[in-house]
């Protein structure tokens, strides 16, 4: 049985929202300004993904009053779209100058500056949309989750697959027991598609006039500027700025199974294949990780295997997948285009999603699921037509208005737990191949490898503390 999600939208029931794995906030903090004035927003990071993030928020009848980007060329370009928005290269100056002029903040910057901007915004009682992964570090994810709960603002992490009807349906299918007790999850990605597995280059280059390098570094340690090495897209592989392939994609590719199976707070993580952090600078070019989860609210213990850099699950598992997809995997193995997928292994069958957002799925063996009747919908469907990214923004903005009762599904309570879970994997990458990291999620520390605990958070540069 195969499901192909379409863009058709319909008003979904809000029944069965009171679940442990997704609970909308009980009350939403109303906009800080008069409702007669309408919603206003300040957008931090307006190039790359921030380009569409800011436009999509504006398209929901939100006035953009401030834009911030470390690249003045990007500001100039985006300023043509938002002619009345004041421009900044340092988000601290934006907050100081326009703090009483906006209701919403979007943060679409490299991972290492997410928390510094988002926590300040929440403390100012602003609603916050932050790109995935929610934070650079485990401790930041916990802080953002707690701050959101304390302030009552509306929050959303930018894993737009959450807005897909297909993802929500797949969650319902797994929860219904269609594939039985799930004891294994295998997820692989075609990332990284940026440099990893390298050391820091020597020397320095002149900082371009258009770039605010101080603001780009933000909380991270000072280092010399090198042309074409960090800014713009290549930062993801550097441990001071990004979270590697795992941080980049797992908030997308594991979102559906995590939501369906309550996969957070692992008790241990092992780097099965792991060349290790290179010279303390970049994540390895490839890795395979194994997360261990105990029994959870009656769900069986589960192992989650993560593969990046071209690594794949065993041939025994791959042989159970549809012939058409196996052909893609064979090409992958032969050095062709890399594949991505998620496979949930249950006692009755498998669920395969070839879609990075979990928006499409196939129940296997297909002959066993002919005539399968889908369970009744228990998660709301977003009543807005558009791409998943646009629907994600609609859900956020309407929740900010207080007009969408279900609220944001990827709010910081859920997204923070997802991000914490994923980033524990990067501790295992630091530990070395075959080293099992025992994890105390409540206290955010490894109990058997205490030398790794210094990487749960970081010391911020002066002026950038949260």
What is the domain-level CATH number for residue 34?
3.40.50.720
- Measured between alpha carbons, how far is 392 from 68 in angstroms, rounded to an integer? 22
Q: Is residue 96 part of a domain?
A: yes
The 8-class DSSP code of residue 89 comes to S
pLDDT at 296: 96
Order of strands, edge to edge, in the sheet holding 350-353?
Answer: 2-4, 360-364, 350-353, 341-346, 182-188, 302-308, 287-293, 268-273, 436-440, 445-446
Q: How many domains does the chain have?
A: 1
Model confidence at 349: pLDDT above 80: yes
pLDDT band of residue 147 (cuts 50, 70, 90) is very high
Task: Report the pLDDT averaged over residues 130-141.
Answer: 98
> Peptide bond before 72: cis, by omega within 30 degrees of 0?
no
Q: Is residue 131 part of a domain?
A: yes
Mean of the per-residue pLDDT values of the chain: 93
- Residue range of the domain that includes 119: 14-162+388-415
189-to-115, 246, 280, 286 alpha-carbon distances in Å? 26, 9, 23, 10
Model confidence at 442: pLDDT above 60: yes
Note the pLDDT tens digit of each residue in 199-237. 999 999 999 999 999 999 999 999 999 999 999 989 999
Number of Cβ within 10 Å of residue 273's Cβ equals 15
Identify which of 88, 17, 20, 79 has the alpha carbon closest to the alpha carbon of residue 54: 79
Task: Report the pLDDT averaged over residues 323-340.
Answer: 98
Q: Is residue 30 part of a domain?
A: yes
Q: Which residues, listed in sequence order, are joined to residue 445 by a DSSP beta bridge?
A: 440
Task: Report the pLDDT averaged over residues 20-39.
Answer: 49
- Measured between alpha carbons, how far is 330 from 345 in angstroms, rounded to an integer? 21
Say how many Å lie between the first and final Cα of the chain, rounded: 49
pLDDT band of residue 24 (cuts 50, 70, 90) is very low
pLDDT band of residue 18 (cuts 50, 70, 90) is very low
- Measured between alpha carbons, how far is 214 from 225 in angstroms, rounded to an integer? 10
Model confidence at 35: pLDDT above 60: no
Model confidence at 51: pLDDT above 80: yes
Identify which of 134, 138, 137, 136 has the alpha carbon closest to the alpha carbon of residue 156: 134
Q: Is residue 111 part of a domain?
A: yes
pLDDT at 409: 98
Query: 98 by DSSP, 3-state: which?
Result: helix
pTM of the model as a whole: 0.92
Model confidence at 26: pLDDT above 90: no
Identify which of 431, 396, 429, 421 has the alpha carbon closest to the alpha carbon of residue 155: 396
pLDDT at 395: 98
Q: Is residue 43 part of a domain?
A: yes
Q: Is residue 318 part of a domain?
A: no
pLDDT at 33: 45
Number of H helices, E strands in the chain: 13, 16
* 321 contacts: CB under 8 Å, gap ≥ 6: 329, 341, 343, 350, 352, 364
Model confidence at 11: pLDDT above 90: no
Model confidence at 249: pLDDT above 70: yes
Model confidence at 94: pLDDT above 80: yes
Task: Report the pLDDT averaged over residues 393-421.
Answer: 97
pLDDT at 89: 98
Percent of the chain with pLDDT over 90: 92
* 34 contacts: CB under 8 Å, gap ≥ 6: none
pLDDT at 1: 54
Model confidence at 436: pLDDT above 50: yes
Q: Is residue 187 part of a domain?
A: no
Q: What angle do CA 84, 85, 91 make, to 5 degrees?
A: 165
Q: Which residues, listed in sequence order, are joined to residue 40 by a DSSP beta bridge?
A: 63
pLDDT at 28: 41
Task: Report the pLDDT averaged over residues 350-354.
Answer: 98
pLDDT at 19: 36
Percent of the chain with pLDDT over 70: 92
Model confidence at 348: pLDDT above 70: yes
pLDDT at 37: 56
- Measured between alpha carbons, how far is 23 from 410 in angstroms, rounded to an integer? 10
Q: Is residue 155 part of a domain?
A: yes
pLDDT at 119: 98
- Measured between alpha carbons, how far is 245 from 192 in angstroms, rounded to an integer? 5
């Amino acid at each position: 049985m195969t499901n192909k999600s379409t863009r058709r939208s319909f008003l979904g029931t809000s029944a069965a929202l009171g679940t442990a794995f997704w609970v909308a906030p009980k009350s939403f903090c109303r906009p800080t300004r008069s409702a007669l004035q309408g919603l206003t927003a300040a957008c931090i990071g307006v190039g790359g993904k921030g380009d569409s993030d800011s436009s999509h928020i504006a398209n929901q009848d939100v006035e953009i009053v401030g834009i911030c980007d470390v690249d003045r060329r990007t500001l100039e370009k985006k300023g043509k779209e938002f002619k009345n928005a004041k421009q900044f290269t340092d988000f601290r100056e934006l907050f100081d100058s326009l703090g009483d002029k906006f209701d919403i903040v979007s943060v679409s910057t490299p991972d290492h500056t997410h928390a510094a901007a988002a926590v300040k915004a929440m403390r100012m009682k602003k609603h916050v949309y932050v790109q995935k992964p929610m934070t650079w570090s485990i401790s930041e994810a916990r802080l953002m989750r707690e701050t959101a709960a304390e302030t009552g603002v509306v929050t959303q992490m930018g894993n737009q697959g959450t807005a897909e009807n297909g993802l929500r349906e797949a969650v319902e299918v797994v929860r219904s027991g269609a594939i039985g007790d799930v004891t294994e999850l295998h997820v692989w990605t075609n990332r990284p598609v940026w440099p990893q597995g390298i050391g820091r280059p020597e020397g320095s280059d002149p900082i371009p006039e258009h770039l605010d390098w101080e603001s780009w570094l933000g909380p991270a340690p000072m280092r010399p500027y090198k042309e074409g090495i960090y800014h713009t897209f290549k930062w993801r592989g550097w441990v001071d700025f990004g979270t590697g392939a795992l941080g980049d994609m797992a908030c997308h590719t594991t979102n559906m199974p995590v939501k369906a199976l309550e996969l957070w707070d692992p008790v241990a993580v092992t780097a099965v294949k792991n060349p290790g952090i290179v010279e303390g600078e970049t994540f390895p070019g490839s890795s395979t990780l194994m997360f261990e989860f105990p029994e959870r609210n009656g769900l069986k213990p589960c192992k989650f295997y993560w593969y990046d850099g071209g690594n794949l699950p065993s041939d025994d598992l791959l042989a159970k997948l549809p012939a058409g997809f196996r052909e893609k995997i064979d090409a992958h193995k032969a050095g062709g285009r890399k594949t991505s997928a998620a496979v949930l292994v249950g006692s009755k069958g498998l669920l395969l999603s070839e879609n990075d957002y979990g928006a499409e799925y196939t129940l296997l063996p297909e002959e066993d699921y002919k005539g399968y009747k889908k369970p009744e919908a228990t998660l709301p469907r977003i009543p807005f037509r558009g791409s998943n990214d646009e629907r994600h923004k609609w859900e956020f903005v309407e929740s900010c208005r207080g007009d969408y009762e279900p609220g944001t599904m990827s709010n910081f309570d859920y997204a923070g737990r997802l991000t914490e879970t994923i980033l524990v994997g990067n501790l295992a990458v630091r530990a070395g191949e075959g080293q099992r990291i025992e994890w105390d999620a409540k206290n955010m520390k490894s109990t058997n490898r205490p030398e790794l605990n210094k990487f749960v958070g970081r010391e911020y540069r002066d002026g950038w503390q949260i």
